[in-house]
Amino acid sequence: MRLHLLLLLALCGTGTTAAALSYSLRGNWSICNGNGSLELPGAVPGCVHSALFQQGLIQDSYYRFNDLNYRWISLDNWTYSKEFKIPFEISKWQKVNLILEGVDTISKILFNEVTIGETDNMFNRYEQCSFSWDWGPSFPTQGIWKDVRIEAYNICHLNDFTFSPIYDKSAQAWNLEIEATFDVVSSKPVGGQVIVAIPKLQTQQMYNLELQPGKRIVELFLNISKNITVETWWPHGHGNQTGYNMTILFELDGGLNIEKSAKVYFRTVELIEEPIKGSPGLSFYFKINGFPIFLKGSNWIPADSFQDRVTSELLRLLLQSVVDANMNTLRVWGGGIYEQDEFYELCDELGIMVWQDFMFACALYPTDQGFLDSVRAEVAYQIKRLKSHPSIIIWSGNNENEEALMMNWYHISITDRPIYIKDYVTLYVENIRELVLAGDKSRPFITSSPTNGAETVAEGWVSQNPNSNYFGDVHFYDYISDCWNWKVFPRARFASEYGYQSWPSFSTLEKVSSTEDWSFSSKFSLHRQHHEGGNKQMLYQAGLHFKLPKSTDPLRTFKDTIYLTQVMQAQCVKTETEFYRRSRSEIVDQQGHTMGALYWQLNDIWQAPSWASLEYGGKWKMLHYFAQNFFAPLLPVGFENENTFYIYGVSDLHSDYSMTLTVRVHTWSSLEPVCSCVTEHLVMKGGEAVRLYEEPVSQLLRRCGNCTRESCVVSFYLSADHELLSPTNYHFLSSLKEAVGLCKAQITAIISQQGDIFVFDLETSAVAPFVWLDVGSIPGRFSDNGFLMTEKTRTILFYPWEPTSKSELEQSFHVTSLTDIY
């Protein structure tokens, strides 16, 4: 790709009255393909695909098979050109720079026909999953995907400004390390003073400085009195996200004033790796502000193949859905992109902790000097850009490259392995780790994920088994074993990837498909599935516990199959996540103390089957509604072991709570419980998982009117003073395809409106598992969905994301339960 900028010499302006000027080159550019046969206008920031679509030259790139049809776009060369007049006189400025914040990817930059630069790394200022993954399409985009501008200045210019809050344990006080990078273009030293102020902390300090010509770094150390109460930043569900406004004013010679403002958050983060009694290996968990936190959440991928489509509104919608589902963490996966500033600002605001991978994934990378120089520039830039965000709690060198190397994914001969290990250490330890340790002392660094953490270091930076249950984090996928059997899951220290696929809703697929595509075996369905064997795996896992749809209507079968894949996915991830949560406080067979559960994946990049809980555009799948419950701060978890039924109480709270546990048993054929018991008052310890209840299944069945496994279901919840403290959870005593007494439930809804919220008053004629409320393409979410309805009536709220009406909802509303496909 070529960037061709033509400066017209008809300059305007009469002189300089400011310390610096910035002239944006955003907006309309001309785009031309390699042989000149195609020329069109295009927006910057943007990409070639978006420009072609906006001009009506191509369809929506996500429609049907267009990821194949439009490969020619990425295989061509493209030139971006712009002619412009600079609205100031260049000769009056000592330095004029052309700033390109992001170019995708290989490009040559010409200014007035003179080559002034080249780019080969989209993660630097001047994407790997762009070439497809098992959840996304191949759209290697080209274009100017971030801001472009001309900057002019005299005397000196503030290039970068960053800071890190540091807590001094010995002094029991907070300090702020501030770093400012200047380009001093004056031929003489530039003197002056700096004033740093945080008014709400009654803090202001003044410093004298003298800047020598050239690139200069100013380091300031701001002391905050220990007599001042500093409110710390906490993850969602653990406290407030308090921040403080800070201003920094540079008053320099020549009347030059440069002022910056920023939001400062104070928090500490520690990665604890220490021996555990009764278990070999080491712990792996995070302390925020000295408090152990169980990390609950998912893995983030780019929200779209085309970054110019990722709006502020979309980012906020997706990240709000994270906290609405009781999550506190996202892992920014190393095969995507370093997200835009607004993403991290929203995570700061919402209390979402970020596990930040560097952008290296599932590959063996070179270590020639040119590549290392590019990587070092990328890493240094991203550290400087991101380290002020309290949401980022850890840097990770790569995704799965240690495991790929040591488990020999790429069939390296044993004699060549030392060469690849040496290259691995060169890249991730001697370069990336070195830069992180030098540039950011406020958070931990690990070389890979999964990794054995401290054990990996001890083994020379690569472990014989990077996926060990006794150290670090694990990635776990198993599509063949029965996901209702919790014994197949690893009792690991931290699960940073796991999951199951499902299809997105029909209303999402309908927008990018045609009637001939609406079959699970259609060319479209097979093409859209990028995970080998994925469609068969979904049906196999669903078939273990559910009857597969067999309607004579093909469209009905397709819709029912989509529904059933979402049921399967939600139930599988629920079972696995609840296993990890209840394993936080115990050691069983020398394994346990699990302190994190991040399922794969949060969001979709297009409309296709994937592991995501949020569909493309943000619609909640059934899994996301389940996550709202299985990530609840207080949760009762039921499971069986050796024919005994157990209920554990799991708490993420900081305090102990007194409560009772209610256990009810229903038959599938009746809306009235056949038995119910309430425990004596229990004290639920804060930050622990403890056993609350156990009873042999045979005794439970006898006690409840001669129930059988096939005819009854168990539900349970925590409460205090008749107030519900937890979601109502449930336990199936048999596969639902073997359920006795299930009959087709007739479910009706009366919709009313209260302000901006809509109320759905539901009534059912029978017990209904996995009740799914759907309003088609109307954007919004329900207060609960995919639930087990064991009572005659239930009220559910709908929160629209855009203005809508009661009549629109009534026209679009559809309800499904498992009884509809049996």
Whether a cis peptide bond, with omega within 30° of 0, leads into 667 is: no
Pair of tokens at residue 58: 């191509």
**To which residue do tokens 């370069």 refer?**
431
State the pLDDT at residue 103.
87
Mean pLDDT by 10 residues, the chain (822 residues): 52 48 93 95 94 95 94 94 89 90 86 86 60 73 89 93 95 95 95 97 96 95 95 98 97 93 98 97 98 98 90 97 98 94 98 97 94 95 97 97 95 95 98 97 96 97 96 98 98 98 98 96 95 96 96 95 98 98 97 98 96 97 98 98 97 96 96 95 95 96 93 97 94 97 96 97 98 97 98 98 97 97 86
Res 102: pLDDT? 83
* CATH number of this structure's domain 747-816, picked from the four choices 1.25.40.10, 1.10.287.180, 2.60.40.10, 3.30.450.40: 2.60.40.10
Cα angle 113, 118, 120; round to 5: 150
What is the distance between the alpha carbons of residues 489 and 478, in angstroms, rounded to a whole number?
A: 9
Is the Cβ–Cβ distance between 733 and 713 less than 8 Å? Answer: yes
Q: Residue 757: its pLDDT value, please?
A: 98
CATH superfamily membership of 20-153: Galactose-binding domain-like (2.60.120.260)
State the Cα–Cα distance between residues 492 and 474, nearest whole angstrom: 7
* AA letter at 191: G
What does the block give as tokens for 687? 């930050």
Could you say which of 497, 576, 578, 615 is catalytic?
497
The domains spanning 20-153 and 156-265 adopt the same CATH topology: no
Ramachandran assignment for 52, one of left (phi > 0), alpha (psi -120 to 50 degrees), beta (any other)? alpha
- For 17, residues 6+ apart whose C-beta sits below 8 A from its C-beta are none
Phi, psi of 576 (to 5 degrees): -70, -45
694 a catalytic residue: no
User: Quick one: how far is CA 82 from the chain centroid?
Assistant: 36
Q: Give the closest residue to 582 by CA, choosing from 660, 659, 637.
A: 637
497 assigned to active site:
yes
Domain boundaries, the chain: 20-153, 156-265, 635-738, 747-816
Residue 132 pLDDT:
64
CA–CA distance, 519 with 513 (Å, rounded to integer) = 11
Give 668-726 as a DSSP string.
Answer: TT-SSEEEEEEPPPEEE-TT-EEEEEEEEHHHHHHHTTS--TTTEEEEEEEEETTEE-S
Topology, domain 156-265: Immunoglobulin-like (2.60.40)
- Of 363, 244, 234, 296, give the one whose Cα is nearest residue 689: 296
Q: What burial letters (b/e) apply to 107-141, b meaning 16+ CB within 10 Å?
A: bebbeeeeeeeebebbbbbbbbbbeebebbbbbbb
Phi, psi of 236 (to 5 degrees): -55, 130
What would the CATH number be for the domain defined by 635-738?
2.60.40.10
Q: Letter for the amino acid at 35? A: N
Considering the candidates 127, 378, 400, 455, report the single residue annotated as catalytic: 400
| Spatial separation of the C-alpha atoms in residues 592 and 470, rounded to whole Å | 8
